[in-house]
Amino acid sequence: MSNLTHLAGQFIVLEGPDGGGKSTQAQRLCEELSSQGVKAVITREPGGTLIGEAIRKILLDNTHQKMSVETELFLYMAARAQFVTEKVKPLLQQGYCVISERFLLSTIVYQGLAGGINIKDILNCATLAVKDIQPKATIVLDVPPEIGLKRVGNNPDRMEAKGLKFHTNVRQGYLTYVDKVKPSIVISAQESINYITNQIVLFLEQTK
């Protein structure tokens, strides 16, 4: 039987290309934590707050095709600053395990490695936005873009609709940069849902 009680008051981030099953695994992890008596909450980026959700709508709206990657960066960081201040910090202080679908690594990959913004510039922006909040662990659910985009369906949002080449660069960005984020693990999102859940739990047991 797993023991994840040490994750009380910790911040866990699920990352990866679109269509990797982050929402499913976040829900399963939350249920596992709750079964062990750990208070847990699922949230997402961009979003998680009223301000963040409003920014999310702007970022993902397909009518905003002229949005520059620099504008994306600042909007994501604005949502993140509110997210950290209003949601993450207070919940961690109350002893919750906060499970987030995406965090700073997404910006490094999407706007940086795939979008072309210098990583140092992104990290400088992040210093103000995230303050001292760092994930206890980062889990990257890896999926080839051909599969991930099919899972997304026929109504992709503005980011999902950026095309196969962009999303290929996104996937490569995760695989290239993940070693700089510790502790972290890459799990194939092509495995069964139960297998992925078990791998996440095994990994998190080792993050004490």
Domain coordinates of the chain in residue numbers? 5-205
Listed in sequence order, the residues at least 6 apart from 86 whose beta carbon sits closer than 8 Å to its beta carbon are 48, 49, 51
Q: What is residue 66's predicted lDDT score, i.e. its pLDDT?
A: 97
Over residues 176-198, the pLDDT tens digits come to: 999 999 999 999 999 999 999 99
What global pTM score does this model have? 0.96
Taking alpha carbons only, the member of 96, 115, 105 closest to residue 139 is: 105
Q: What pLDDT is attached to residue 196?
A: 98
Residue 20: count of CB within 10 angstroms of its CB: 27
Residue 149 above 90 pLDDT? yes
Burial of 42-57, coded b for 16+ CB within 10 Å and e otherwise, reads bbbbbbbbebbeebbe
Residue 208 pLDDT exceeds 90:
no
Domain 5-205 class in CATH: alpha beta
Strand partners, 12: 99, 137
Q: Which residue stretches of the chain are H helix?
A: 22-35, 50-60, 69-83, 89-93, 104-107, 119-130, 145-152, 164-177, 193-205
Q: How far apart are CA 33 and CA 35, in angstroms?
A: 5
pLDDT higher than 90, residue 113: yes
pLDDT at 106: 98
Band of residue 1 on the pLDDT scale cut at 50, 70, 90: confident
Would you give the end-to-end CA distance of the chain in angstroms? 16
Token pair belonging to 110: 């999407």
Closest CA to 59 of 93, 110, 14: 110
* Rounded average pLDDT over 81-90: 98
pLDDT tens per residue across span 4-14: 999 999 999 99
